[in-house]
């Protein structure tokens, strides 16, 4: 009996010792206010991170149970998935490779852990950066890239893949798959309507995600029925909301209307019932829409707003600033009527974005930042896009969902990204104040977590010599 008691006591001691054994992890964030990006609910939890993924979330981290060399105090902080900018451009030619590379830190400084590169002419560099970021030899966001755009002969943007015949479609798609792009971006400056639709069809057959502009020589219904996954900008959704879209399309084919003349006609023939049908069709096809409201706010008012004192302008090298000249010149040289028409269109787009959101069409928050897009700066412009969405009447929660949550779903990466959930990649942003109360609080960043790495925006701001980027939030 005494022997049995002794064995039991020994067993108890062993079990007790095992229970006291500490498990070491790479990073622990204690007692933060974790925002459920789906419901908007907030819960106080600790986040345990190891090898770049969230191991678990706990209501409390028991003393002496978990250890880490890095422990962040999340008390009174707000934690949500790292932001996604779902429409950026790395471009401008070889002379601007370094300038584009320098933008990468600006995204991290602004809590943006992922960007969707919507086509450019620096593909080889972008793919190299993508790998270097993954290997942690370069600081920057995860990059999901379209590589070069698909367009017709004499395309507007340098580096585009030319599709003039059906045979060219296979060549272009083969090239993109060899590059291992994450989606296919189509442009509308030169490609014919028939080849545009055929390209979407063939890309979809290959299991590729397609997104892009839309030639006005086709209807939105045709584009959606063919299988496009994402519509970039609101011009093309507006076209589908016109009660006279087919007639206007034919007039464009016949050369009766140019792009901007068509815009006026489309606004004049906007019909609520047609719009409702279009919204239902977008939902039926699970097609995402990227409103890009902020860049509209900037470009439509270039004739009125002086950007010389923009905080981020000092971070743009001369080569990038030079690319701004085209849009600035176009704005200043436009007639007074043309300027007014474009401002009215900009106001109309805000109403359209809200209507899309109210109808539960899936939206993506994208800045369209990059060379040639005047004063739309990498990093900060994503926050300005979220603010523009809220200004248009979209709720704070939905605006936030339009970033990482919807972005990860669009690219079919939601098993790894988009929510603060056990098992997912630990790309997080820690805010000092609640973005559900005020969307501008997305700028109030304490730390950015990318995998196991912790970034302090103030340190990055100091590195790029722009402390006012942090001070002037």
Q: Please report the pLDDT score of residue 244 as a whole number.
A: 98
| Spatial distance between the Cα atoms of 156 and 152, rounded to a whole number of angstroms | 9
pLDDT tens digits for 53-71?
999 999 865 555 788 889 9
Please say whether the beta carbons of 84 and 115 come within 8 A: yes
DSSP string, 316-356: S-HHHHHHTHHHHHHHHHS-HHHHHHHHHHHHHHHHHHHHH
Domain that holds residue 429: 21-80+424-471
Residue 7 lies in a domain: no
Farthest-apart Cα atoms in the chain, separation: 103
Query: Are residue 150 and residue 208 in the same domain, yes or no?
Result: yes
How many alpha carbons fall within 13 Å on the CB side of residue 438? 8
Query: Are residue 217 and residue 363 in the same domain, yes or no?
Result: yes
Q: Please report the pLDDT score of residue 5 as a whole number.
A: 37
Q: Please report the pLDDT score of residue 7 as a whole number.
A: 36
Q: Please report the pLDDT score of residue 62 as a whole number.
A: 58
pLDDT tens digits for 75-114?
999 999 999 999 999 999 999 999 999 999 999 999 999 9
Query: Are residue 73 and residue 88 in the same domain, yes or no?
Result: no
Average pLDDT over residues 399-404: 98
| Spatial distance between the Cα atoms of 381 and 400, rounded to a whole number of angstroms | 14
Q: Please report the pLDDT score of residue 196 as a whole number.
A: 98
∠ CA(263), CA(403), CA(241), 5° rounding?
25
* The pLDDT of residue 14 is above 80: no
Q: Please report the pLDDT score of residue 302 as a whole number.
A: 96
Residue 403 burial by Cβ neighbours in a 10 Å radius (0-12, 13-18, 19+): buried
In the block, residue with structure tokens 């004739």: 303
Query: Are residue 126 and residue 222 in the same domain, yes or no?
Result: yes
In the block, residue with structure tokens 């093309």: 236
Tell me how far CA of residue 416 lies from CA of 12, 100, 241, 385, in angstroms: 41, 27, 35, 24
User: CA 237 from chain center: how many Å?
Assistant: 19
Residue 63 lies in a domain: yes
pLDDT category at 23 given cuts 50, 70, 90 is: confident
CATH code (residue 45): 2.30.40.10
pLDDT category at 473 given cuts 50, 70, 90 is: low
Q: How many CB atoms are located within 10 Å of the residue 394 CB? A: 26
* The pLDDT of residue 18 is above 60: no
Q: Please report the pLDDT score of residue 64 as a whole number.
A: 55
- What is the torsion angle, in degrees rounded to the nearest 10, for the CA atoms of residue 401, residue 402, residue 403 and residue 409? 80
Query: Are residue 112 and residue 167 in the same domain, yes or no?
Result: yes
Q: Please report the pLDDT score of residue 67 as a whole number.
A: 85
Average pLDDT over residues 270-290: 98
Domain end (from 358, 385, 410): 410
| Spatial distance between the Cα atoms of 177 and 169, rounded to a whole number of angstroms | 12
Q: How many CB atoms are located within 10 Å of the residue 347 CB? A: 12
Query: Are residue 337 and residue 460 in the same domain, yes or no?
Result: no
Residue 138 lies in a domain: yes
Query: Are residue 446 and residue 400 in the same domain, yes or no?
Result: no
Q: Please report the pLDDT score of residue 16 as a whole number.
A: 39
pLDDT tens digits for 410-458?
999 999 999 999 999 999 999 999 999 999 999 999 999 999 999 999 9
Please say whether the beta carbons of 363 and 288 come within 8 A: yes
Q: Please report the pLDDT score of residue 470 as a whole number.
A: 86
In the block, residue with structure tokens 């000249």: 325
Tokens at residue 179, please? Answer: 């590059």
Least confident of 60-74, 203-217, 220-234, 264-278: 60-74
Helix (H) or strand (E) holding 85: strand 83-88
Share of the chain above pLDDT 90, in %: 91
* The pLDDT of residue 331 is above 50: yes
Residue 201 lies in a domain: yes
pLDDT tens digits for 159-178?
999 999 999 999 999 999 99
Number of domains in the chain: 2
* The pLDDT of residue 190 is above 90: yes
∠ CA(7), CA(12), CA(14), 5° rounding?
95
Tell me how far CA of residue 411 lies from CA of 150, 183, 278, in angstroms: 19, 8, 23
Query: Are residue 288 and residue 392 in the same domain, yes or no?
Result: yes
Residue 403 lies in a domain: yes
Average pLDDT over residues 18-27: 73
Least confident of 9-13, 129-133, 378-382, 394-398: 9-13
Average pLDDT over residues 29-45: 97
Mean confidence (pLDDT) of the chain = 94
């Amino acid at each position: 009996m005494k022997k049995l008691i002794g064995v039991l006591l020994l067993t108890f001691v062993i079990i007790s010792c095992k229970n006291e054994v500490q498990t070491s992890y790479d990073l622990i964030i204690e007692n933060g206010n974790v925002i459920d990006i789906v419901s908007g609910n907030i819960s106080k939890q600790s986040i345990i991170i190891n090898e770049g993924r969230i191991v678990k979330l706990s209501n409390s981290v028991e003393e002496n149970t978990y250890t880490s060399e890095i422990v962040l105090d999340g008390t009174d902080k707000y934690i949500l998935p790292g932001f996604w900018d779902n429409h950026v451009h790395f471009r401008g030619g070889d002379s601007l490779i370094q300038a584009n590379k320098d933008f990468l830190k600006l995204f991290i400084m602004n809590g943006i852990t992922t960007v969707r590169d919507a086509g450019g002419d620096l593909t080889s560099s972008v793919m190299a950066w993508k790998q270097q970021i993954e290997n942690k030899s370069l600081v920057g966001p995860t990059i999901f890239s379209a590589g070069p755009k698909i367009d017709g002969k004499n395309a507007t943007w340098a580096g585009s893949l030319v599709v003039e015949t059906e045979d060219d479609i296979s060549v272009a798609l083969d090239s993109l798959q060899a590059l291992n792009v994450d989606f296919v971006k189509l442009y509308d400056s030169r490609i014919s309507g028939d080849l545009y639709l055929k390209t979407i069809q063939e890309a979809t057959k290959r299991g590729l995600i397609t997104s892009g502009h839309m030639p006005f020589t086709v209807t939105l219904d045709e584009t959606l029925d063919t299988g496009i996954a994402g519509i970039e900008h609101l011009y093309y959704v507006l076209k589908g909301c016109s009660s006279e879209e087919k007639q206007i399309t034919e007039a464009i084919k016949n050369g009766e209307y140019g792009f901007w003349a068509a815009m006026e006609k489309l606004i004049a023939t906007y019909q609520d019932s047609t719009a409702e049908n279009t919204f239902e069709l977008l939902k039926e096809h699970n097609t995402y829409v990227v409103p890009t409201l902020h860049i509209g706010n900037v470009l439509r008012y270039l004739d009125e707003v002086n950007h010389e004192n923009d905080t981020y302008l000092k971070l743009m090298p001369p080569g990038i600033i030079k690319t701004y000249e085209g849009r600035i010149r176009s704005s200043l040289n436009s007639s007074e009527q043309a300027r007014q028409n474009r401002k009215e269109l900009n106001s109309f787009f805000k109403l359209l974005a809200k209507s899309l959101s109210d109808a539960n069409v899936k939206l993506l928050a994208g800045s369209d930042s990059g060379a040639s897009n005047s004063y739309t700066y990498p990093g900060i412009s994503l926050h300005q896009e979220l603010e523009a969405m809220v200004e248009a009447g979209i709720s704070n929660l939905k605006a936030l969902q339009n970033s990482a949550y919807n972005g990860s779903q669009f690219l079919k990466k939601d098993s790894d990204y988009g929510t603060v959930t056990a098992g997912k990649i630990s790309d997080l942003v820690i805010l000092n104040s609640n973005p559900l109360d005020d969307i501008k609080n997305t700028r109030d960043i304490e730390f950015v977590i990318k995998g196991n790495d912790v970034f302090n925006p103030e340190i990055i701001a100091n590195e790029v010599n722009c402390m006012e980027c942090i001070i002037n939030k």
